[in-house]
Amino acid sequence: MSERACQPLRALVSIHDVMPETRPQVEAMLEKLALPASAVTLLVVPGRDWRHDDLAWLHKLQDAGHPLAGHGWSHRCQPPVTLYHRLHSALLSRDVAEHLSFSGDGIQRLVWDCYRWFLRHGLTPSPLYVPPAWALGALSQAQLAGLPFRYVETLTGVHDTHEQHFTRLPLLGFEADTAFRAWVLRLFNAINISQSRRSGVPVRIGLHPHDFQLRLAGEIPPLIKAVTEAVTYPQVLTNVKTDPGSLPL
């Protein structure tokens, strides 16, 4: 084992796309991860067909200690109009980057609708919001500061809307349903794990419900086993601040 592989690896763990239709996969993933509930943030998509038993399930997860974060509204976008959105859809997000379909005002309304959904159903939203595919969209600094969630996560890190700081954090992904995506993600993940170990900055492990059925499934358990400390978003972001005033893409 190399000296670098023996260095500590701190991690922020999240499961994306928590919806009624992914409930069996989310439950199975939580069982396989076997991490403390407080260390696994669940990214909830409000605008799906949430029935009484599904909402009871979310309450149970929250009562167990899982932070429930906002994750868009429907997790589906309108047909791309701009060149940027078309490229983003083709290379990364496909049809889920719903923020890219709206202006700044529209994004604000979407995020507020997401936040109010939690309150309407007696759930406590965590301070974190993650736009689908980490695509924030065309928000100005003032619009970002007017969102109800304190932390907004994008591909490169997390923005603190209260303190106007952006914290760069390495990211790992495993949603590899093609050989090309598997190759790209494997390289991307190796670089970011190395960066995290070298700097001591926590790495974000962004999981999706079907990752254990995809091409990089075998790489998830050894990674989780290698994590020396699973930390929470507020725990990290209240102590690390960089790039004041910058707006992430």
pLDDT at residue 98 in the model: 83
Please, what is the average pLDDT of the chain? 87
Please give the CATH topology (third level) of the domain spanning 4-72+108-237.
TIM Barrel (3.20.20)
**Amino acid, single-letter form, for residue 153:** E
Whether the pLDDT of residue 193 is over 70: the answer is yes
Domain ranges for the chain? 4-72+108-237
pLDDT at residue 133 in the model: 87
pLDDT at residue 77 in the model: 47
